[in-house]
């Protein structure tokens, strides 16, 4: 009998017996036969039958698990043929991979368990990294998107790791194997390094490895902003954990989930073993506390930090810090929380040091590394001076290379300048005005001009501007999440292909017309973006106002904050007196792949060498973690 090989054979009772196969019965009619490929005959069954397969778990009983797959999918006349010359079912399983994959493809249309073989091969190969400890020294990083990767993509990505990335990859894999064998310790690691060291590449590869090891979707990936989340094929932290959205830059109180909402969240997180958070430097300590509290509730594990979920943080503390009003840096526990456990101190440091983005441009790498820690030399300044913008033709024309500024006003000024260029060249420019109204008044507003009670700050109107000038060909950025699955997130950039006016009109007839626009988002395709209505508090306690407007802003220029996580081939970066935050210059310069693709608009040496050329608090924290390691 086939099950005799199992170390823990399944129980067979009367209900499990196939009576059509084993019980005697009268043969009143001639049974039908079919001819097999070798010309032997097989009797067609009189009654349908279901093959019952015992359920084994690879982690606890690997021999029976792989043997059950061989029995199901390998053809044999005698069960002793299954293992052949091999000593274990796992070895025989791997040796017959090609044949099993062909069987797997053939049976695809007939079975519901269509992913078992694929998951098992991925799981076996995922742990093979622990059996071959030689380092992989390679020349460059391959950007491989998570869709997830197929076998060829995954192998190519593994081969693209440098020694430091390989060491971290093996560390995570070993921990997963230990946890699947019963270890209770969970990972809490902060992966860091300067800009361009391959943090995003490693994040994507680790994500895929985790899912392969568990043979299921066992990891959730998120970041603070929609743009950063899109770059890693994840979601925002607020969406992933259902955290309260910041109001005016401040984090509001968090209420616990309850009822059906909590039940749904627990279902969504049931299989999750890992949470990966990118761009952690922009996350506040207060939000880290919210993540801990929410995971304890979702996983119904109040006594375990982060609900017993493995937490992997990626980022660079020397890049942009959180907005000051949103809380303290993620590594700095506020005084009023100090009696509690310091959550950041639970994390260990893994640091990458080899620059992959600017690889081949060692001069630029040296400048970035020195700027990151506030140690620029005279020679470095001389090189930067040579990149000052003088020629605005070709790739660095006013409407070509992205301009990167510290303030919104500078961004608006540049966008207006490009729009005027279009106007002077004969382009039709349309001025779109938002439609504002008071939808829930808490005081008499009959004689009040609606414009006087609408906040002027775009961040207080849901990202919708009061006015917007557009034309066909204009470069624009989404200011609201439309459809995350399609890449239509806050920060997505594209070019307007068509302006679609209401009521099938061919052009703007009234000043109040708000059209839809068809935008080419490059790799995310062409999409029709409609006006969006957002409600927000009116000024002076007048109640709730609503604005209907295109969720767009012009985007020939960008603020440094919006560049977090991005990489460009050409950019004009402002390094003048208006830099106002530690790490801004480093963050802006590191977005460009090479010195050749960089031009500088104004260069204030004091901003790069003054009392605060870098974030000293963050640098001290990195040194503390290094010493601890």
| Residue-wise pLDDT tens digits, 61-100 | 888 888 888 888 888 878 878 888 888 888 888 888 888 7
Output the pLDDT for position 83: 84
Decide if 565 contacts 455 (C-beta within 8 A): no
Output the pLDDT for position 132: 53
Output the pLDDT for position 8: 54
Q: How far apart are CA 490 and CA 36, in angstroms?
A: 61
CB-based burial label for 80 (10 Å; 0-12, 13-18, 19+) = exposed
Output the pLDDT for position 609: 76
Decide if 275 contacts 315 (C-beta within 8 A): no
**Tokens at 378, concatenated:** 């005279």
Strands 274-278 and 310-314: parallel
Q: How far apart are CA 158 and CA 143, in angstroms?
A: 11
Three-state DSSP at 430 gives: strand
Name residues whose C-beta falls within 8 Å of residue 237's C-beta, 6 or more positions apart in sequence.
Answer: 222, 223, 224, 243, 277, 283, 287, 291
Output the pLDDT for position 17: 45
CA-nearest of 351, 385, 344 to 369 is 351
Q: How far apart are CA 540 and CA 43, in angstroms?
A: 86
List, for the chain, all residue ranges whose pLDDT scores fall below the cut of 70: 1-30, 49-53, 104-119, 121-147, 245-253, 325, 357-360, 565, 610-613
Output the pLDDT for position 115: 59
Q: How far apart are the first and last CA of the chain?
A: 56
| H-run or E-run covering 108 | none
Query: Which residues, in sequence order, are bridge partners of residue 476?
Result: 494, 554
Find the DSSP H helices in 96-220: 97-106, 116-127, 151-159, 163-180, 199-214
Please state, as a whole number, how many other Cβ atoms lie within 10 Å of the Cβ of residue 356.
23
Give the chain's largest Cα–Cα span.
102
- CA dihedral 419→425→427→431, nearest 10 degrees, is 40
Output the pLDDT for position 29: 58
Structural domains present in the chain? 2-114 (no CATH), 125-351 (3.40.50.300), 369-397+564-628 (no CATH), 427-559 (no CATH)
């Amino acid at each position: 009998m086939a099950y005799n090989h199992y170390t823990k054979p399944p129980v067979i009772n009367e209900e499990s017996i196939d009576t059509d196969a084993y019980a005697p019965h009268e043969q009143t009619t001639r049974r039908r036969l079919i001819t097999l490929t070798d010309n032997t005959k097989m009797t067609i069954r009189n009654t349908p039958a279901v093959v019952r397969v015992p359920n084994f778990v690879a982690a606890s009983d690997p021999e029976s698990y792989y043997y059950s797959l061989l029995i199901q999918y390998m053809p044999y006349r005698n069960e002793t043929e299954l293992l052949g010359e091999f000593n274990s079912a796992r070895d025989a399983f791997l040796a017959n991979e090609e044949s099993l994959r062909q069987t797997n493809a053939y049976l695809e249309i007939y079975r519901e368990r269509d992913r078992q073989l694929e998951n098992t091969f991925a799981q076996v190969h995922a742990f093979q990294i622990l059996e071959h400890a030689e380092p992989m020294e390679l020349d460059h990083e391959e950007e491989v998107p998570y869709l997830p990767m197929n076998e060829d993509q995954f192998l190519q990505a593994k081969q693209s790791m440098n020694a430091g990335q390989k060491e971290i990859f093996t560390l995570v894999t070993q921990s997963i194997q230990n946890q699947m064998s019963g270890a209770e310790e969970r990972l809490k690691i902060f992966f860091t390094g300067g800009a361009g060291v391959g943090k995003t590449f490693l994040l994507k590869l680790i994500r895929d490895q985790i899912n392969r090891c568990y043979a299921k979707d066992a990891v959730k990936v998120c970041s603070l902003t929609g743009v950063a989340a899109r770059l890693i094929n994840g979601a925002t932290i607020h969406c992933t954990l259902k955290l309260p959205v910041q109001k005016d830059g401040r984090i509001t109180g968090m209420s616990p989930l309850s009822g059906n909402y909590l039940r749904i969240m627990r279902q969504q997180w049931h299989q999750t073993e890992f949470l990966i958070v990118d761009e952690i430097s922009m996350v506040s300590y207060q939000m880290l506390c919210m993540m801990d509290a929410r995971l304890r509730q979702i996983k119904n594990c109040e006594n375990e930090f982060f609900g017993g979920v493995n937490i992997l943080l990626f980022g660079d503390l020397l890049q942009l810090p959180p907005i000051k009003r949103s809380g303290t840096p993620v590594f700095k526990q506020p005084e009023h929380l100090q009696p509690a456990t310091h959550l950041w101190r639970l994390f260990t440091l893994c640091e990458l040091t080899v620059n992959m983005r600017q690889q081949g441009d060692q001069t630029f790498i040296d400048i970035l590394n020195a700027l990151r820690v506030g140690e620029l030399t005279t020679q470095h300044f001389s090189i930067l001076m040579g990149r000052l913008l003088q020629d605005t033709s070709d790739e660095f024309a006013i409407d070509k290379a992205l301009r990167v500024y510290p303030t919104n006003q500078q961004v608006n000024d540049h966008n207006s300048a490009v729009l005027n260029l279009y106007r002077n060249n004969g382009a039709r420019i349309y001025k779109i005005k938002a439609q504002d109204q008071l939808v829930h008044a808490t005081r008499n507003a009959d004689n009040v001009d609606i414009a006087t009670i609408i906040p002027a700050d775009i961040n207080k109107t849901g990202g919708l501007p009061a006015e917007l000038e557009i034309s066909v060909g204009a470069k624009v950025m989404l200011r609201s999440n439309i459809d995350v699955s399609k890449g239509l997130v806050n920060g997505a950039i594209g070019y307007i292909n068509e302006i679609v006016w209401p009521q099938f009109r061919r052009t703007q007839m009234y000043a109040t017309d708000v059209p839809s626009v068809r935008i080419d988002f490059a790799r995310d395709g062409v999409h029709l973006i409609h006006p969006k209505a957002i409600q927000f508090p009116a000024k002076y306690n007048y109640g709730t106002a609503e604005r209907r407007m295109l969720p767009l802003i012009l985007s020939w220029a960008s603020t440094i904050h919006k560049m977090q996580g991005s990489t460009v081939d050409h950019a004009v970066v402002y390094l003048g007196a208006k830099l106002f935050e530690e790490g801004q210059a480093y963050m802006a310069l590191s977005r460009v792949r090479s010195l050749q693709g960089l031009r500088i608009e104004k260069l204030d040496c004091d901003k790069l060498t003054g009392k605060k050329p870098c974030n000293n608090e963050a640098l001290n924290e990195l040194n503390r973690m290094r010493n601890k390691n």
